[in-house]
Amino acid sequence: MNTYGRYPVRLVRGSGARAWDDTGKEYLDFISGIAVNTLGHAHPALVRAISEQAQTMLHCSNLFHIPAQEKLAEKLTRLAGIERAFFCNSGAEANEAAIKLMRKYWYDQHSPRRTIITATRSFHGRTLNTLTATGQDKVKTGFDPLPPGFIHVPLGNMNALKQAVGDDTAGILLEPVQGEGGVNVVADAYLRGVRKLCNDTGILMVLDEVQTGVGRTGEMFGFEHTGMRPDILTLAKGLGGGVPIGAMLASESVAASFGPGTHGCTFGGNPLSCTAALTVIDVIEQEGLLENARTQGGHLLLGLKAIQRTHPVMQEIRGQGLLIGAELSCDVAETIARCRESGLLLLPAGPKVLRFLPPLNVTSAEIDEALTILGDCLGTDYIGTDGGSS
């Protein structure tokens, strides 16, 4: 079905931060399959681990204990400091699980709390609940009747949030950096304020780290920048390094509301996807990729700021780790197309923001190369324009 506005390229092969199309043209891949290819393309350790797992067992279902799933649950819960894990296949599924768990938690306490508060410009997925949770109208049009029980508040405004919290509030669902919504970094102080509000009222704090999780921001989880942790955490995109897997972590007392029969997922946490995720986390640790994400993220930010000085079309530059956005004063589509033709793959975050998502093992030479291509593609004909109609 025609659900995607696709680029006119067929990628067939990749290695690290590079990919090749079916004509043999080489690209520097700063999309990484939308923050999925954490280790770049064809990382040897990931290739080896999933090949060996495929020769052993791909799937057996959650009717059985699954050793790789147990190891992954142990690893993630220890790293996050959140006691329990549930596995699924995607970001939307992880958020659906979080929405169900929030509601069930209050149901079990005979409380009427059902409403979930989310932020404007957020993105939480494409299922009916997660698109309703999403704070952008463009994903909702045509899909009514939408499920009830979601309200939106302007991101970063603590007074608006306090006013929105009522006797029916079950929890607050936020991204620590809004990815799809424009690379909007949420202030640490705001997130700590949300944590305090949740502590004071007893409502649940849920962080959607589907895009920010697994090293993208320079910490294993984005919440680690803030010195507090959520009650529920969702992960997906980068977790399997390209193998589909999602996860929802929850604190012991909240997770207790999911007993046998309350939720499930046939494919969730199968031996293949859990082996992939374990390998991704191992490689992040062994190759120092959190440190690399911070260093190269800083390098990319500085390089973009240097371009900004000679190209007034480039407005605000923002981000965390290797999730970086550069807002242009014009639509980004033409710049993205030019970069692609010149061998650099970038994606938008909304109409005016260029989004950079290189793999966590990107090198500074690759970043320099990307910056050179971008500088050339922004071109002098863009300077001073605001319509981007050059």
Ligand X SMILES: *Cc1c(COP(=O)(O)O)cnc(C)c1O
Q: Which residues bind ligand X (CB under 6 A)?
A: 90-92, 95, 123-125, 175, 179-180, 208, 210-211, 236-237
Adjacent-strand bridge partners of 314: 328
Q: Which of 30, 86, 87, 123 is catalytic?
A: 123
Name the minimum Å distance from CB 130 to ligand X: 7
Assigned token pair, 90 = 């995607």
Q: Is 162 a catalytic residue?
A: no
Task: Please tell me whether the peptide bond between 145 and the residue prior to it is cis, using omega within 30 degrees of 0.
Answer: yes
DSSP 8-state class, residue 16: B
* For ligand X, the closer CB: 31 or 210: 210
Name the minimum Å distance from CB 374 to ligand X: 23
Cβ atoms of residues 176 and 123 within 8 Å: no
Q: Which residues contact 251 (CB under 8 A, 6 or more apart)?
A: 82, 83, 84, 231, 232
Name the minimum Å distance from CB 329 to ligand X: 25
Name the minimum Å distance from CB 35 to ligand X: 7
Residues, the chain, total? 390
Cβ atoms of residues 321 and 293 within 8 Å: yes
3-state secondary structure 40-87: CECCHHHHHHHHHHHHHCCCCCCCCCCHHHHHHHHHHHHHHCCCEEEE
Name the minimum Å distance from CB 179 to ligand X: 4
Q: How many angstroms separate the CA atoms of 162 and 90, rounded?
A: 31
Q: Which of 87, 104, 150, 208 is catalytic?
A: 208
Name the minimum Å distance from CB 102 to ligand X: 16
Give the three-class secondary structure for 373.
Answer: helix
* For ligand X, the closer CB: 98 or 377: 98
* For ligand X, the closer CB: 18 or 237: 237
φ, ψ for residue 14, nearest 5 deg: -150, 160
Output the residue with the shortest Cβ distance to ligand X. 91
Q: Which residues contact 78 (CB under 8 A, 6 or more apart)?
A: none
Assigned token pair, 71 = 């190891």
Q: Is 140 a catalytic residue?
A: no
Q: How many angstroms separate the CA atoms of 355 and 33, rounded?
A: 12
- Other C-beta atoms within 10 Å of 367: how many? 24
Cβ atoms of residues 355 and 36 within 8 Å: no
Q: Which of 30, 223, 237, 258 is catalytic?
A: 237
* For ligand X, the closer CB: 29 or 208: 208
Q: Is 237 a catalytic residue?
A: yes
Name the minimum Å distance from CB 385 to ligand X: 31
Q: Which residues are catalytic?
A: 123, 208, 237
